[in-house]
Structure 1
């Protein structure tokens, strides 16, 4: 007789069997891929699954979100025009430089004041300054961060990403931001590319194009920040992960702009990319179990919130007065 335990751990609210857990999870994925579901609702569904029944494939979650996000961002490139994207990139360059430098500096002093572990503090600051989980994943091996330090930073960033996805579109309408203003604000103030795209896409197509372009240009700052990190943490032998997918995004954008044959099939790629990003948000939410939330701790979360509020308010003031 098979005596294998089929009940998921007790930290989930509904202790269902593994087969039921998988059925619920796959059903939610199918539901999130329907055209009636918004990015915010998808993320909320993922968080609900994480708390109620759990993620049956949690060991694969990080790798799945990593590849799905990159492929989806490349797909979005097929819906963009290179000329307007270049203009958006130029417009957001100064905002990017100032915000990254100021966020890293403020994060350093804030982390010391709150007595947050140095590497956790640095990862939270880098994730807030550049591009959330991607920056943390790229910089953590460079500074030889431990698993707990990486988990704390990722948990903090993903919690705030979830809040931003709901809050930013509401705030954008409240302040009557234009498509350009909202796209820039999202790219600067929201951590992860997935949440940037989700919030901007809900606001409008022009906001989506500007936000995606500026955010990916911002992501390239992973490289110089990682190089600086090797000196700060004295780890010259560490390898730097270069976000090569951004180059494929640029190629997709150029192909859509100059090749008529590609432009004819571009809507198919864009539709697939948006579906992929929707699924990415669900998987991110499904990874936010109570264990992940509890691992963050009060002080790192305070640092993350303070940094995020500071950059959000400063960026909002900048786009309201100078864009």
Structure 2
């Protein structure tokens, strides 16, 4: 064996510096996110990780990037897909059946209408397609986790992902205070479980749904979280449909060129398999809890990696268009979601 071969580090060794860095950022984000004040504000570890990652990415990380690049890239690629698969253990089909037709109809309608609106408004605003799709997915499904899951399908850049996450976090955070205020002022002609369905079908992140629901009542929070989990469960079919549409558009734009294989988001099938397996309740609660903890760490490390590789110049270049799109989608979620819920209540569904 030559001296050069002996001196070349192994692939695993090359990953360690970057993995260690993303793990450290994730640990701080989890610590702060699990603190009492962090939970009360609805700041999930995912949100905090990308913020901390961006701070480090624009200060101390550039000199370290050459050493850490392999592990950081691994975190926002392989660890991300593993985290999306394990995310399925948060769901069971029993939850889907338990919330009833009202929750299912609300979740499906709000997801489809919000994402379609995001695509139309993104074209009107002349926003790049990847950003519009990412913001639409985050607003219509489950915030930062949906943005992360959509990124591999549309092959978005780190900066586009960061802008999308920041946009859905800003407006999702506003929801924490807006929905309890609407309930207190009786702005909608429905309350109780129906208001829980309203929150769960129109608020961005799971953590934000919990915070907004608990600000109303514990029973409303339970219904809100269950409805929200239905939206999360729709993530897998959404990714499969998006992949077919996105690759169909790409194929149409390259007509006449050699046919390329269509990439399939296999991690979406893993997500479905995890949810189905979890529905069988073959694992003890302690094992499921462990898997969910691992999942939180994997997704938080992926978010940290995205933050580390995002430069502030990218956010400046994005301008106000992503915020305008996120704001318009927020208006639709609040108004359209309320009107749809009012219609269901009028039909006694």
TM-score (norm 1): 0.69
Distance of aligned partners of 1:107 and 1:97 in 2 relative to their CA distance in 1, 3 Å threshold: same
Residue in structure 2 matched with residue 13 of structure 1 by the alignment: none
Q: Distance in 1 between matches of 2:291 and 2:227?
A: 16
Q: Structure 2 regions of 5+ residues with no counterpart? A: 1-16, 138-145, 184-190, 214-220, 342-349
| Post-superposition CA distance 1:100-127 (Å, at most 9, x none) | 222212212212xxxx5xxxx1111211
C-alpha spacing 1:30/1:312, structure 2 compared with 1 (3 Å) = closer
Q: CA RMSD in A?
A: 3.6
Offset at 1:317?
0.5
User: Looking at CA atoms only, which structure, 1 or 2, has the larger radius of gyration?
Assistant: 2
Question: In the alignment, is residue 239 of structure 1 matched against residue 263 of structure 2?
Answer: yes
Query: CA–CA distance in 2 between the matches of 1:291 and 1:316?
Result: 33
**C-alpha distance in 1 between matches for 2:207 and 2:75:** 19
**TM-superposition CA deviations, 1:47-94 (whole Å, max 9, x none):** 2355245596523321323312430x2221259534125633333222
- 1: distance between equivalents of 2:104 and 2:96? 10
Q: Look up the match of 2:110.
A: 95
Partner Cα separation in structure 2 for residue 269 and residue 210 of structure 1: 24
Alignment partner, residue 143 of structure 1: none
Match of 1:155 in 2: 162
Match status 1:169 vs 2:176: yes
Equivalent position to 1:222, from 234, 239, 252: 239
Higher relative helix content = 2
What residue in structure 2 maps to residue 318 of structure 1?
336
Pairing 1:44–2:48 present = yes
Shift in Å at residue 292 of structure 1? Answer: 0.6
More divergent stretch after superposition (284-293 vs 101-110):
284-293
Give the one of 134, 149, 153 matched to 1:138: 153
Q: 3-state DSSP class of the match of 1:221? A: helix
Match of 2:280 in 1: 255
Q: Which residue matches 2:207? A: 198
Query: Contact 1:103–1:307 (CA<8 Å) still a contact in 2?
Result: yes
Point out where structure 1 has 5 or more consecutive residues left out of the alignment.
1-16, 141-148, 191-195, 257-261
SS at structure 2 position matched to 1:292: coil
The structure 1 residue matched to 2:199, chosen from 167, 172, 182, is 182
1:44-123 correspondence to structure 2 within 5 Å: 44=48, 47-48=51-52, 50-52=54-56, 54=61, 57-62=71-76, 63-71=78-86, 73-78=87-92, 81-85=95-99, 87=101, 88-111=103-126, 116=127, 121-123=128-130
**C-alpha distance after superposition, 1:271-300 (max 9, x if no partner):** 335534543564355235475142534453
Name the CA shift for 1:50/1:303 in 2 (closer, same or farther; >3 Å): closer
Distance 1:26 1:82, change over 3 A: closer
What CA distance in whole angstroms lies between the structure 2 residues aligned with 1:151 and 1:33?
A: 23
- Which residue is equivalent to 1:3? none
2:289 corresponds to which of 271, 282, 290: 271
Runs of 4+ deviating beyond 6 Å = 20-23
